[in-house]
Chains A and B, each alone.
Chain A
Amino acid sequence: MRFVFTSAVKDLRRLRREPVTLLTWLGIPTFIAIILVVIFGRGDARPNGKLLIVDEDRGIGATLLAGAFSQGPLGNMISVEKVELEEGRHRVDQGKASALLIIPKNFTQALVEGQAANLQLIRNPAQRIMPEMIEEVLSMLTDGAFYLQMVAGDQLRKSAQGTPSDASVAQISVQFNHVIEDTRKYLAPPLIQLNTKVIQDKTDKPGGFAALMLPGMLYMAVFFIAGGLATDVWRERASGALRRVATTPASFRSFLAGKLLAVLVVLALVGAFGLGVARFLADLRISNFPLAVLWIAVSGCGLYLFMMLLQSLASTERVAHMLGNFVLLPLTMLGGSFFPFDMMPRGFAQIGRLTPNGWSVTQLQKILAGVEVTPAAFAAVILFVAAGWLVVGWRIRRTAC
């Protein structure tokens, strides 16, 4: 037992002599949290775009069309700017707007009198979300124009004819009133209503996009740190430390247990720091801080042993490094570190949750959300660590000299 602590203290002291390394590791989740919060704030990620409008009509129809983009949530996402045709084309061709809408001359007249008119929408091909939204809204508005013509077309045409007399105005008003009365039974309230029920996963948490990304990103940091710590075995081998351990009465498993203890301390520190930063900056909800830190540390040890096993299978340090990255990067991608599982296609998310790091992220999200984590989950990670310790200890012993 004494050798275990000695080994752990040795590793921690070596790490203390490399403060830049430790600060860098602490910096990974910090920088990522800062970036996410600076970019997205504490809310959801919402698109921002600009719609340029060339109004060749200069009538009320064009004003209504432009006004549709300034209302409600759309108004927060899309800024509308009226421009001349040449300027608009130039700007959208340079990618400086999400889309350019050209409202033709006599659009209002066409709308009222039931004539043909074509709206032109020129989309920015480098953007996906905003042009799609703008096109969808315009498409809905053209639907609206069609139905307006179907229901009240005659009345609109009459109202547009010259300067109506008092009698004409009265007649048109009565006709509009009849239209309203006839449609009231369908529309007030709507005869067919759509209710939307959005079922959020229990692990969905407030804090917006940044908080959604952070647990996975924290595990990316943990995985990279575990990988970096695992490469330390090459330095130990090159310096002859492993050979010296082989000549002592202490077992390699004790030596490895000491390294594991040091890794536990480091990952607990990184986990605590990362969660603290996430809570402070991104308003990440943490129901049980100590348990979350413990989970990160213990599951991180499992990842460390996994990376150690890969290191022990390689013939040279260079091969080990390549092999480590070859395994680490796909696992971090699939395991919810690049993108949260909510954003992935369902098949990918299902596979990702089965990876060691993905499974750990899922359990961490449960802990953060206050959902009870089953004892089986804890048992599984402890068993994994124990099995890894035995196997890796055996491998290091074989390849020590």
Chain B
Amino acid sequence: MLRDAGYLAYRDLLYLLPRRETWMWTFVMPIIFFYFIGNVTGGFGNHEKRDPIAVLVPADGGFLADELIRRLEQRNFQVIHTVHFFRELRIPAGFTATVLAGKPVQLELTRYGAGIDTDYDRTRAARAVYTVLADLVAISSKGGTPNPKAFAQLAQQPRLISLSVTSAGKRKDPPIGFEQAVPGTLVMFTLLIMFTSGGVSLLIERRQGILRRLASSPMSRGAVVLGKWGARVTLGFIQIAFAMGAGKILFKVNWGDHLGAILLLLAAYASLAAVLGMLLGNFSTSEGQVIGLGVIASNVMAALGGCWWPIEITPRWTQSLALVFPTGWAMDALHKLMFFGDSPAAVIPHIAAFVVTALIAGYVLARNFRFE
């Protein structure tokens, strides 16, 4: 049976690998997905990338305007001087002179679009503004004259109450940017492809009579199922391996110290996804069903498993619910290995869960495999 399955998988791969569409899905689509989703979701908390803010400074803004700009840059803003920008701070004329004369001044922050990013911008800008005011108060309370030198001297004062920040786990440098987004994207992408393409291709083969001809061959049912699964999962492995390589080279993703464990984990995950995709293709009667059910299932599992958005923006009960889904297991395991630097032993339960579930699903598939 194994020889038959191996032969079938080999022939399927020989058929699939040279095809342009296979190359597109294996080598082009993962990069597109990573680039897009990484850019959309990988920005928050990424201190490597500064957020541009247009600061409109009048000619007589004075040294307090310069101080404010310096504080904004400390808050990870990149100060530009464009008009009608979506994030804009307007400093009124005579800013410094008015403040030093003891008259109130209003700065206006204009932000297009609401949401958590806007709240974060508002907090950072407020901190920059009110620390300038606090410096003014501190200098005046000591009887000093507010001027650039006094501000510089105050900035040199040691901060006695300090805050040191480290990352949990064994990994020394915390993940940022694309490193945050790529694992979730990879998990979702693998599932989506195995469900839709893997399921539809089986359906097409059934319709074209390919499976019927296999049924009339000396190969056992189990060999056919195993062979078909083997081809799909091998292609999945190639895709995952390439995606990880592309992630490392193009997006500077650090996969951590346990690359072998990550590969094994993702291989087990792809195995389960391939079987589930084949189950979908087996029981569906049209491409529409496969695609519809595949889209629903993969989106639901990706959303609830924590692939789409930072899991902490969901209620606590959904954060627990994530572990019901294979996507949640995969994300939990990848976090342990990549973000916390845990040892490979920490993900043995996850790999075992994938393998056991794949075996059960494979058994169901083999028992109910439809050749026509």
Interface residues of chain A, those whose CB is within 8 Å of chain B, are: 18, 20-21, 24-25, 27-28, 31-32, 35-36, 38-40, 44-49, 89, 92-93, 95, 98, 100, 110-111, 114-132, 135-136, 138-140, 142-143, 145-147, 149-151, 179, 182-183, 185-187, 189-201, 204, 220-221, 224-225, 227-229, 231, 235, 238, 317-319, 321-323, 325-326, 329-330, 333-334, 338-339, 342-346, 348
Query: B137 touching A147 by the CB < 8 A rule?
Result: yes
Neighbouring B residues of A149 by C-beta, 8 Å: 160
Q: How far is the CA of A28 from the CA of B303 in the complex (A)?
A: 14
Query: A150 touching B138 by the CB < 8 A rule?
Result: yes
Partner of B141 from A35, A179, A319 at Cβ < 8 Å: A179
Query: B167 touching A122 by the CB < 8 A rule?
Result: yes
Whether, in the assembled complex, B287 has its beta carbon less than 8 Å from a beta carbon of chain A, the answer is yes
Neighbouring A residues of B314 by C-beta, 8 Å: 39-40, 45, 48
Neighbouring B residues of A38 by C-beta, 8 Å: 318
7 further A-B pairs in the complex, CB-CB below 8 A; given A146-B160, A194-B125, A333-B32: A35-B304, A39-B318, A48-B312, A49-B312, A93-B168, A140-B127, A231-B288
Interface residues of B in 146-177 (CB under 8 A from A): 154, 157-169, 171, 174-175
Neighbouring A residues of B309 by C-beta, 8 Å: 45
Partner of A135 from B24, B99, B165, B175 at Cβ < 8 Å: B165
Query: B105 touching A199 by the CB < 8 A rule?
Result: no
Pairs of residues from A and B, 4 with the lowest C-beta to C-beta distance, nearest first? A322-B21, A24-B292, A228-B288, A150-B138
Q: How far is the CA of A183 from the CA of B140 in the complex (A)?
A: 9
Interface residues of chain B, those whose CB is within 8 Å of chain A, are: 19, 21-22, 24-25, 28-29, 32-33, 36-37, 39-41, 43-45, 86, 99, 102-116, 118, 122-127, 129-134, 136-138, 140-142, 154, 157-169, 171, 174-175, 180, 192, 196-197, 200-201, 204, 207-208, 284-289, 291-293, 295-296, 299-300, 303-304, 308-316, 318-319, 332, 335-336, 339-340
B49, chain A: closest CB distance, angstroms: 10
Neighbouring A residues of B285 by C-beta, 8 Å: 18, 20-21
A218, chain B: closest CB distance, angstroms: 13
Query: B288 touching A343 by the CB < 8 A rule?
Result: no
B298, chain A: closest CB distance, angstroms: 11
Query: A199 touching B111 by the CB < 8 A rule?
Result: yes
Neighbouring B residues of A129 by C-beta, 8 Å: 44-45, 116, 310, 312-313
Q: How far is the CA of A143 from the CA of B296 in the complex (A)?
A: 49
Query: A231 touching B287 by the CB < 8 A rule?
Result: yes
Q: How far is the CA of A192 from the CA of B71 in the complex (A)?
A: 15
Query: A120 touching B295 by the CB < 8 A rule?
Result: no
Query: A346 touching B86 by the CB < 8 A rule?
Result: yes
Nearest residue (CB) in A for B181 is: A128
Query: B168 touching A321 by the CB < 8 A rule?
Result: no
Query: A225 touching B310 by the CB < 8 A rule?
Result: no
Query: B164 touching A321 by the CB < 8 A rule?
Result: no
Neighbouring A residues of B340 by C-beta, 8 Å: 93, 95, 125-126
Q: List 9 A-B contacts (CB under 8 A).
A: A28-B296, A46-B313, A48-B314, A123-B174, A129-B313, A146-B159, A192-B132, A325-B196, A338-B40
Query: A47 touching B312 by the CB < 8 A rule?
Result: yes
Q: How far is the CA of A123 from the CA of B175 in the complex (A)?
A: 11
Q: How far is the CA of A343 from the CA of B39 in the complex (A)?
A: 10
Known contacts A142-B162, A228-B291, A333-B36; is-contact A125 B167 (Cβ 8 Å):
yes
Query: B140 touching A186 by the CB < 8 A rule?
Result: yes
Partner of B166 from A31, A122, A322 at Cβ < 8 Å: A122
Query: A45 touching B129 by the CB < 8 A rule?
Result: no
Interface of A is mostly: helix
Nearest residue (CB) in B for A49 is: B312
Query: A348 touching B44 by the CB < 8 A rule?
Result: no
Query: B21 touching A116 by the CB < 8 A rule?
Result: no
Query: B126 touching A44 by the CB < 8 A rule?
Result: no
Partner of A191 from B105, B115, B131, B319 at Cβ < 8 Å: B105
Neighbouring B residues of A89 by C-beta, 8 Å: 168
Query: B168 touching A100 by the CB < 8 A rule?
Result: yes
Query: B122 touching A196 by the CB < 8 A rule?
Result: yes
Nearest residue (CB) in B for A92 is: B168
Q: How far is the CA of A193 from the CA of B335 in the complex (A)?
A: 42
Nearest residue (CB) in A for B95 is: A192
Query: B129 touching A194 by the CB < 8 A rule?
Result: yes
Nearest residue (CB) in A for B129 is: A194
A167, chain B: closest CB distance, angstroms: 24
Q: How far is the CA of A229 from the CA of B287 in the complex (A)?
A: 9
Partner of B288 from A18, A111, A194, A317 at Cβ < 8 Å: A18
Most interface-central of A35, A117, A186 (chain B CB within 10 A) = A186
Known contacts A44-B115, A48-B313; is-contact A25 B160 (Cβ 8 Å):
no
Neighbouring B residues of A187 by C-beta, 8 Å: 133, 137
Nearest residue (CB) in B for A197 is: B110
Q: How far is the CA of A339 from the CA of B285 in the complex (A)?
A: 31
Q: How far is the CA of A126 from the CA of B142 in the complex (A)?
A: 45
Query: A24 touching B163 by the CB < 8 A rule?
Result: no
Query: B37 touching A333 by the CB < 8 A rule?
Result: yes
Partner of B292 from A25, A114, A124, A192 at Cβ < 8 Å: A25
Q: How far is the CA of A323 from the CA of B21 in the complex (A)?
A: 7
Partner of A196 from B111, B137, B299, B316 at Cβ < 8 Å: B111
Query: B289 touching A21 by the CB < 8 A rule?
Result: yes
Partner of A28 from B21, B180, B286, B295 at Cβ < 8 Å: B295
Neighbouring B residues of A326 by C-beta, 8 Å: 21, 24-25, 28-29
Query: B292 touching A193 by the CB < 8 A rule?
Result: no
Query: A197 touching B108 by the CB < 8 A rule?
Result: yes
Neighbouring B residues of A48 by C-beta, 8 Å: 312-316, 319
Known contacts A31-B296, A227-B291; is-contact A18 B286 (Cβ 8 Å):
yes
A86, chain B: closest CB distance, angstroms: 14
Most interface-central of B106, B140, B161 (chain A CB within 10 A) = B161
B196, chain A: closest CB distance, angstroms: 6
Query: B134 touching A330 by the CB < 8 A rule?
Result: no
Most interface-central of A98, A135, A199 (chain B CB within 10 A) = A199
Query: B288 touching A238 by the CB < 8 A rule?
Result: no
Query: B288 touching A21 by the CB < 8 A rule?
Result: yes
A183, chain B: closest CB distance, angstroms: 5
Neighbouring A residues of B313 by C-beta, 8 Å: 45-48, 129
Nearest residue (CB) in B for A322 is: B21
B180, chain A: closest CB distance, angstroms: 6
B313, chain A: closest CB distance, angstroms: 5
Query: A321 touching B138 by the CB < 8 A rule?
Result: no
Neighbouring A residues of B130 by C-beta, 8 Å: 190, 192, 194
Neighbouring A residues of B102 by C-beta, 8 Å: 185, 191
Neighbouring A residues of B288 by C-beta, 8 Å: 18, 21, 24-25, 225, 228-229, 231
Most interface-central of A139, A228, A339 (chain B CB within 10 A) = A228
Neighbouring A residues of B296 by C-beta, 8 Å: 24, 27-28, 31-32
A310, chain B: closest CB distance, angstroms: 12
